[in-house]
């Protein structure tokens, strides 16, 4: 099955980036939001990012205009998914919100359509079980910022069939992304490997082994990481890191995933990283 039109549900950090890359690759996008002001914010972010690409001469002004023209906004999920081949859900990381979205899209999307989630940690198998087409459900895990990052983890749920996997993989390649197949498991591969490293870095700070700056310097200079784990944790959001560690801890029942006490304290204190202006570092 060839993906000729997509719907992206949620135009936040990830959703606007996903809409951007599909539209830029000549695939029309129905962008679905809950309010016009959120949709406007998503469109203005996409336009700002396209302007930056024009300035760097990565795309022409004409390509910018045709990309924006390929995105149509909907404030009604049922309306927005009824003529697409692939739906990508990018609403907040909350099972109840995703459940209500999956119920709606399963009813309203065409029978052949693939239902994908950009979830970072919720089980694809569990989301698929909400629908009447678990074999057509899959994880399409993009990375932030979507227009820049090459990786898409393509997550197979228990019942995902080969046709769905292959069509999703082909769609990712069409975006010039690199799809990597993984099976459904807490944190998939990306967060299962990344979050324990971030957590251990936070233990080092909490136990007075080194300052955040020094932990990051060790990982940048010694391990050639472009960004240290604590700077990255601030960028991701410390609340998001804590939520993902809880998913790993609950999913595996293994104490190696227990969140560092300092991480819990910082989240309790509202120091969530870049988005609140303070985390392991201060931001203007």
Is 52:64 a contact under the CB 8 Å cutoff? no
Binding residues among 203-262 for ligand NAD as defined by CB under 6 A: 236
- Concerning whether 153 is annotated as a catalytic residue, the answer is yes
Interface with ligand NAD (CB under 6 A), residue from 24, 90, 127, 241:
90
Q: Which is nearer to ligand NAD, 32 or 266 (CB)?
A: 32
Is residue 96 within the footprint of ligand NAD (CB under 6 A)?
no
Is residue 97 within the footprint of ligand NAD (CB under 6 A)?
yes
Structure tokens given for 124: 């694809």
Nearest to 30 by CA among 88, 107, 99: 88
Structure tokens given for 88: 């990508």
Using only C-alpha atoms, what is the Rg of the chain? 19
Total residues contacting ligand NAD by CB under 6 A comes to: 24
Is 133:163 a contact under the CB 8 Å cutoff? no
Is 233:273 a contact under the CB 8 Å cutoff? yes
Is 88:118 a contact under the CB 8 Å cutoff? yes
- Selecting among 120, 121, 123, 199, the annotated active-site residue is 120
Is 9:77 a contact under the CB 8 Å cutoff? yes
Closest residue to ligand NAD in the complex (CB): 12
| Contact pattern from residue 132 through residue 171 relative to ligand NAD, giving x for each residue in contact according to CB under 6 A and a dash for the rest | -----------xx---------------------------
Active site residues: 120, 141, 153, 191
Residues found near ligand NAD in the complex (CB under 6 A): 9-15, 32-34, 38, 77, 90-93, 97, 101, 118-120, 143-144, 236
């Amino acid at each position: 099955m060839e993906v000729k039109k997509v719907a992206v549900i949620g135009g936040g950090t990830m959703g606007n980036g996903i809409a951007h890359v599909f539209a830029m690759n000549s695939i029309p996008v129905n962008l679905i939001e809950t309010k016009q002001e959120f949709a406007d914010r998503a469109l203005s972010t996409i336009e700002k990012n396209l302007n930056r690409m024009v300035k760097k001469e990565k795309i022409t002004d004409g390509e910018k205009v045709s990309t924006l023209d390929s995105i149509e906004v909907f404030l009604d999920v049922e309306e927005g998914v009824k003529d697409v081949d692939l739906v990508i859900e990018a609403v907040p990381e909350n099972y109840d919100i995703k459940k209500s979205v999956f119920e709606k899209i399963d009813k309203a999307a065409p029978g052949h359509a693939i239902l994908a989630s950009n979830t970072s940690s919720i089980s694809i198998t569990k989301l698929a079980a909400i629908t009447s087409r678990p074999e057509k459900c899959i994880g399409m895990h993009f990375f932030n910022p979507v227009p820049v990052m090459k990786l898409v983890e393509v997550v197979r749920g228990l019942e995902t069939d080969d046709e769905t996997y292959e069509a999703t993989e082909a769609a990712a390649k069409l975006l010039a992304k690199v799809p990597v197949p993984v099976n459904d498991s807490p944190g998939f591969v990306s967060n299962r490997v990344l979050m324990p490293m971030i957590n251990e870095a936070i233990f080092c700070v909490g136990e007075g082994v080194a300052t955040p700056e020094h932990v990051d310097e060790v990982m940048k200079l010694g391990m050639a990481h472009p960004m240290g784990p604590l700077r990255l944790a601030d960028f991701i959001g410390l609340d998001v890191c804590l939520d993902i560690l809880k998913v790993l801890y609950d999913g595996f029942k293994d104490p190696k995933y227990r969140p560092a006490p300092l991480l819990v304290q910082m989240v309790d204190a509202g120091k969530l990283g870049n988005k609140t202006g303070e985390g392991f570092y201060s931001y203007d």
